[in-house]
Amino acid sequence: MAGTQDKKRANLRDVAKAAEVSVATVSRVLNAPDAVSPKTRERVEAAIRTLRFVPSAAARAINSGRTRFVGALVPTLDNAIFARFLAALEKTLGAHQLSLVVATTETDPGIEATKAKGLIDIGAEGLIVTGVSHSAEFHALIERTMLPTISTSYYDAASQMPTIGYDNAAAAQIALTHLAELGHRRIAVVHGPARGNDRTQARLSGLRALDLGLELSRFETEISLRGGSAVVEDIFADNPRPDAILCLSDVVALGALFGLQGRGIAAPNDVSLMGIDDLPSSAVAVPALTTVHLPVTRMGKRAAEALARWVAHQEAPGSERLPASLVKRASTAKRMAPR
């Protein structure tokens, strides 16, 4: 039975014929409406509504020379900090009539380069990447294509690409200084895999550079609740026991909190605990987690605004440092007399 589904989808020529204008005029109405007189524009828009015409993205790209989408390369989607960043990035790009396509890299430089090439091949007008450490293949690709590319989650004014993010070393130092000011001297530092992760490496470097006369022990685990919980056993297998645990990400700190509770160890009465990120869940944990706030939502907005300007007006941005700040909550307290 013939029905509406059998009808041919209207195209640009159909709209032009119905509005009694040229195909070029219809294209201008779609891509640069201010360049068309109001009377002609109304006639074309009426034809579009009548024919239920939906512009093809591919056709628009051919006519305007623009795809109006950018790509974002992030290590994983299984982390609330990247989810918040991408939400802000997409919302702000949308205000500039740009769409976002996201790809994950698994913190693998080879995968990142391959996926960057894939995004460029399908017409990405710009890229947002994580960190400043990338493969030679990736850098060669960006240099060859001259594609606008911004690095995030890291601030480095000397980077090959503009960076919009925070000083990871300084963020770690804020956390360690807070614990030192509370009187803690033996501190277990817990972090995710450092190899290939320049943000973790920078945070560890920041701790090493801060000479506060503290006794630091390092523990590496996976960046997950499970990883944070499991590492507690390793921490308390050592003697003497630490006064405080500093996790270089909130998700690991929240896992450590579960691990402590499972062993009957109370934070902050028995040991202070803090993280870095300021995830929404950190504020409602019991006890609420002391942390260092990283401005990831603001970072998403600023990166989107900078990339949109670069894409539209060829205005390459400078690097921008966004401040991190201490958030004091109930999981840390002054060191008591030796227990």
> Within the chain, which residues score under 50 in pLDDT?
1-6, 339
Question: Does 91 lie in the same domain as 48?
Answer: no
Could you report the per-residue pLDDT of 10-26, keeping only the tens digit for each?
888 899 999 999 988 98
Task: Tell me whether residue 333 is in a domain.
Answer: no
For position 50, which CATH number holds? 1.10.260.40
Question: Does 271 lie in the same domain as 127?
Answer: no
Question: Does 287 lie in the same domain as 185?
Answer: yes
Task: Tell me whether residue 290 is in a domain.
Answer: yes
For position 114, which CATH number holds? 3.40.50.2300
% the chain with pLDDT above 90: 83
Give CA–CA dist 182/89, Å, rounded. 37
Of the residues 13, 44, 64, the one at which a domain ends:
64
Task: Tell me whether residue 328 is in a domain.
Answer: no
User: What pTM value is reported for the model?
Assistant: 0.83
Q: What is the pLDDT of residue 86?
A: 97
Which of 136, 130, 80, 71 has the alpha carbon at shortest distance from 106?
A: 130
Which of 302, 276, 297, 281 has the alpha carbon at shortest distance from 163?
A: 302
Question: Does 260 lie in the same domain as 229?
Answer: yes
Question: Does 200 lie in the same domain as 154?
Answer: no
Task: Tell me whether residue 207 is in a domain.
Answer: yes
Q: What is the pLDDT of residue 62?
A: 53
Question: Does 128 lie in the same domain as 80?
Answer: yes
Task: Tell me whether residue 283 is in a domain.
Answer: yes
Q: What is the pLDDT of residue 56?
A: 64
Element of type H or E holding 320: strand 320-321
Of the residues 279, 294, 309, the one at which a domain ends:
294
Question: Does 125 lie in the same domain as 78?
Answer: yes
Read out DSSP for 147-182?
Answer: --EEEES---TTSSS-EEE--HHHHHHHHHHHHHHT
Contact present, 76 and 108 (Cβ < 8 Å)? no
Which one-letter amino acid corresponds to residue 215? E
Full domain range(s) for residue 55: 4-64
Of the residues 49, 64, 79, the one at which a domain ends:
64
Total structural domains within the chain: 3
Could you report the per-residue pLDDT of 192-233, keeping only the tens digit for each?
999 989 999 999 999 999 999 999 999 999 999 999 999 999
Q: What is the pLDDT of residue 123?
A: 92
Q: φ and ψ at 38, to 5 degrees?
A: -55, -40
Q: Is 176 helix (H, G, I), strand (E, B) or coil?
A: helix
Question: Does 75 lie in the same domain as 42?
Answer: no
Indicate the pairing of strand 291-293 with strand 325-327.
antiparallel
Question: Does 228 lie in the same domain as 85?
Answer: no
Question: Does 280 lie in the same domain as 177?
Answer: yes
Per-residue tokens: 147: 């594609």
Task: Tell me whether residue 339 is in a domain.
Answer: no
Q: What is the pLDDT of residue 339?
A: 45
Task: Tell me whether residue 336 is in a domain.
Answer: no
Question: Does 36 lie in the same domain as 84?
Answer: no
Question: Does 160 lie in the same domain as 180?
Answer: no
Task: Tell me whether residue 44 is in a domain.
Answer: yes
